[in-house]
Structure 1
Amino acid sequence: MSGWAPAAALLLAMTTSCTGSTPGDGAAAVARPGAAGVGDRLFPELGNGGYDVTHYGLTLDYVPETNRLKGTAVITARATQDLSRFDLDLAGLRVRTATVQEVKAQVSRSGSELIVTPAKTVRNDEVFKTVVTYDGTPRTIEGDDGGLEGWIETDDGSTALGQPTGSMTWFPGNHHPSDKATYDITVTVPKDADGDFYDVVSNGKLITEEDKGETVTRHWRSEEPMASYLAHVSVGYFEIHKGWTRDRLPVYVAVDPDESEDAAAVADLVPEIVDWAGERFGPYPFSSTGAVVDHLPGLDYALETQTKPYFAEAPDEALLVHELAHQWFGNSVTPRKWKDIWLSEGLATYAEWLWQEKRGGRNTDDTFEDFYNGTDAESEGIWAFPPADPPSGARMSDPPVYGRGAMVVHKVRKAVGDETFFDILRTWTRQHRHGNADTLQFIALCESKSGKDLTELFDTWLFKKNRPPRM
């Protein structure tokens, strides 16, 4: 058919004017901006819509003495709609340039949203590359719960901790746990005033280390998908301990010299715990393991940064078990939304209970009773809200998510029996390996594996607020 009716031509002109597209741009008339946020109830503005990141290539130059950071982020993603523009999460830092598919893009800022408008519509299902260069002094964020996150200075360098929003302080991205990606993190640091190099530790495996005379560059690679809140860089001075697990998995433990005496057992405990956990939870999900033991007085938490959990001081065995158990529960199988975090924290806390029993301490039945009766030191406040329904992002690290979450896990174990229970855990980590999962999927698996209707159990222990009567 040749020729257009006048009304059709007028409609096309109006559409072109609204979208900034031309007739030759094909389906661009349906292009629209990607959403600024993925609709997570606890963090409504976190993450972005319209695309799925597959890889981050982060090249960083960092000077500890001035706490200045220069970065280039190469973000490879697949569009999930026709995109006229899209957002990246970035708090602070000055953006110098941005390109999409090697063509200069327009950028603007709105709070922690970096709004990128490409020169040409990005098509649905198109794999596209965004390159952002930036610099400045990265921020430390005080979360709603009073905890510090983001880029945190230490006495000999810095550390980057991302839960739940801190990763946006040092690289632009889609910073919601539902969008996982692989990573290459390359960091260049100078010599210090005494002529010594700083150490750089990050996720995954150390690929290269290049001494350039006045600077040293270390390239770390995470081959398995990772949620951005688990991405991590620590710069400082560390004693490095290398080893292997029983299954020849490489172990890399970095310990601040100020913590070396108290953390003397960590390098041996890491492979022991990983081997033990693998027997109960299924094969270890990553290609390396380890830990970072820093010296950061005043930081009152540890974080399960992928492959190498971070500790602000020497951890006790229970805390080490907890963060290593997260490599299965939280890191490999990641919450689909933040309200599902009880699946990470409850299962990691239950791993502590299992380890304590293994070491000849309280058995899991007694630990459950101590939490139920309020006699355990960590049981205070566990009935404040249902584990699966934190009232706000500031409360998602409160006792109900951890202690009562572990109680839910124990009730499932008692209801289905040990053989089925551990089969459930191994199936869970296998089915959702390197992916995301939610509470309803966990319930469905428990019922499917056991052949039982567990509605009353989960309604009573997971979804209701008050302390249940004994069942």
Structure 2
Amino acid sequence: MSRRMYRSALVIGGIVAAAALVGSTAASAAPGRPGEPRYGAGAEGAGDPYFPLAGNGGIDVLHYDLDLDYTPPAAEPAPLEGQLSGVATIELVATQDLDRFNLDLRGLTASSVVVGKKSMSFTQTDNELVITPRPKLKTGQSTTVVVTYGGTTTEPTDIEGALYGWVTTRDGAMVVSEPDGSATWFPVNDHPTDKATYSFEITVPEGLTAVANGVLAGSETAGGKTTWTWDAPDPMAAYLATATVGEFRLEQYTAANGTPIIDAIDVTRTPSQVAALALTGDMLSFFEERYGPYPFVSYGAIVDDDSVGYALETQTRSFFSRNASEGTVAHELAHQWMGDHVSPARWADIWLNEGWATYSSWIWLEHRGQSTAQARFQQVMNRAPGSSTWNTVVADPGPLGIFGTPVYDRGAATLHALRVKIGDTAFFDLATEWVARFGGGTATTADFIALAEEISGQDLADFFDVWVYQPPKPTAW
């Protein structure tokens, strides 16, 4: 994601993750009753030290069916506030014996919760919807949870103060949720380690378009409102889901590799602002040659006239603020393999997303006759030793560092240095095997290092130590 490519690098002054790893409360046999379950509460977080309340323990969500009804704000001078009501039908499996479990929900209020067709008691805090199922759930048990909820939408911000989540606009909403903003618009297990499939029915005032992930299943207008139906059958991390609303024109075609393309372009955008999207088909072929088959049912872009100040690799439908430049289009498309299909197991591993996407834009632009990847690598290496590039542990940048320049540029430089060290054949074999082996799930820096050593047949401990685990500028590797 080029989330902070338009922002100056964040200076991190001794920020460290304060939270210890939070695990699920494991069920065990009741004392004196071997084999019988002992019920407990699912953890209120998925165990990520950077975002302790993101995600939840004790559950594995399989599918979200989101039925949303949204009314954007009135014209100025009315407040920039929309109205969202929703019904989330969530199919999940208990991963421990549960007498209580949580979903993340922030800024909206649940009015009812049904588990297995029975109304259930629940409570709600600032970030957590706490559900008490009766009968209790046993390990491995599947159930359906239906949450009815709603409220006023505004402009939520992330840990850095940047807009994210359901960002209200005058004509609709920009919905971009990395890292933990999905909880601002639906009840969710909001961590990449719990991927699920999605379906969407989004009802908006007639004349507006609602754009989500996957393929467009249809639209229907009645009573001054239009319901847009989208189906996203590929496993997806919650932060990659979108339901962006605005005055868009939809442009649909099939790329040369057979991928259906659906672009949603704000009606105010000029041809020059979206010209690079015409290269999508060529880019798909280019990246397929290096990373393997495109992994999802469709692709496309959303280009909005409002701005959050960054682009995001929303799965199958990358989001762009105001314009889509060639380098950024390549970056977000490459993310579909590197970050979306293979996602970070912890947010500390985000350099694997951003390093690969940045490096992908380097090699694409080289392919197009612009600066070579080696020249761009040298530009990074020419930065002064006191640069922020050389004072960050890339594999553990801290919660306020995950969108900083080092994660992008030093991450890409790491990959180029690795390519030079192990050679082109091993490097691109590594890329395709990385996607093939971990696609559809998550992986860590340790997983990447192990695979790089396996593919190359080299001991790379010292290489990765100086590039991703030590902050100073590498001088030998």
Task: Provide the TM-score with structure 2 as the length reference.
Answer: 0.89
Partner amino acid, structure 2, of 1:248:
G
Partner amino acid, structure 1, of 2:52:
P
DSSP 3-state at the match of 2:300: strand
Partner amino acid, structure 1, of 2:60:
D
Partner amino acid, structure 2, of 1:381:
S
CA RMSD of aligned residues (A): 1.8
Count, aligned residues: 438
Structure 2 counterpart of 1:439: 445
Distance 1:384 1:207 in 2: 48
* Residue 178 of structure 1 pairs with residue 189 of structure 2: no
Distance 2:279 2:396 in 1: 34
CA contact (8 A) 2:37 2:138 kept: no
Cα distance, 1:29 vs structure 2: 5.4
> What is the identity percentage for the equivalent residue pairs of Structure 1 and Structure 2?
40
Distance 1:283 1:384 in 2: 37
| Structure 2 unmatched ranges of 5 or more | 1-26, 28-33, 75-81
Residue in structure 2 matching 1:31, options 26, 30, 39? 39
Residue in structure 1 matching 2:396, options 382, 389, 394? 389
CA contact (8 A) 2:58 2:95 kept: yes
CA contact (8 A) 1:143 1:394 kept: no
DSSP 3-state at the match of 1:262: helix
Cα distance, 1:259 vs structure 2: 1.7
DSSP 3-state at the match of 1:263: helix
CA contact (8 A) 2:263 2:301 kept: yes
More helix by share: 1
DSSP 3-state at the match of 2:420: helix
Residue in structure 1 matching 2:371, options 362, 378, 403? 362
* Residue 124 of structure 1 pairs with residue 142 of structure 2: no
Distance 2:35 2:270 in 1: 61
Cα distance, 1:380 vs structure 2: 5.2
* Residue 82 of structure 1 pairs with residue 97 of structure 2: yes
Structure 1 counterpart of 2:11: none
CA contact (8 A) 1:356 1:362 kept: yes
**Per-residue displacement from partner, 1:194-238 (whole Å, max 9, x unpaired)?**
xxx211111000012112242111111111000000000111111
| Structure 1 unmatched ranges of 5 or more | 1-18, 20-25, 192-196
Task: Provide the TM-score with structure 1 as the length reference.
Answer: 0.90
CA contact (8 A) 1:28 1:121 kept: no
Cα distance, 1:260 vs structure 2: 2.7
Cα distance, 1:364 vs structure 2: 1.3
CA contact (8 A) 1:255 1:263 kept: no
Partner amino acid, structure 2, of 1:459:
D
Distance 1:447 1:402 in 2: 23
Structure 2 counterpart of 1:312: 321
DSSP 3-state at the match of 1:84: strand
**Per-residue displacement from partner, 1:163-203 (whole Å, max 9, x unpaired)?**
11111010001001110000001101123xxxxx2111110
DSSP 3-state at the match of 1:137: strand
Considering only CA atoms, is the larger Rg found in Structure 1 or Structure 2?
A: 1
Partner amino acid, structure 2, of 1:263:
Q
CA contact (8 A) 2:89 2:147 kept: yes
Partner amino acid, structure 2, of 1:252:
I
DSSP 3-state at the match of 2:111: strand
Distance 1:131 1:212 in 2: 25
Show the 5 A alignment for 1:250-399: 250-297=260-307, 299-374=308-383, 381-391=388-398, 393-399=399-405
Residue in structure 2 matching 1:248, options 241, 258, 275? 258
* Residue 164 of structure 1 pairs with residue 173 of structure 2: no
Structure 1 counterpart of 2:234: 224
CA contact (8 A) 1:461 1:468 kept: yes
Distance 2:348 2:195 in 1: 17
Structure number with higher relative contact order (C-alpha < 8 Å, ≥ 6 residues apart): 2
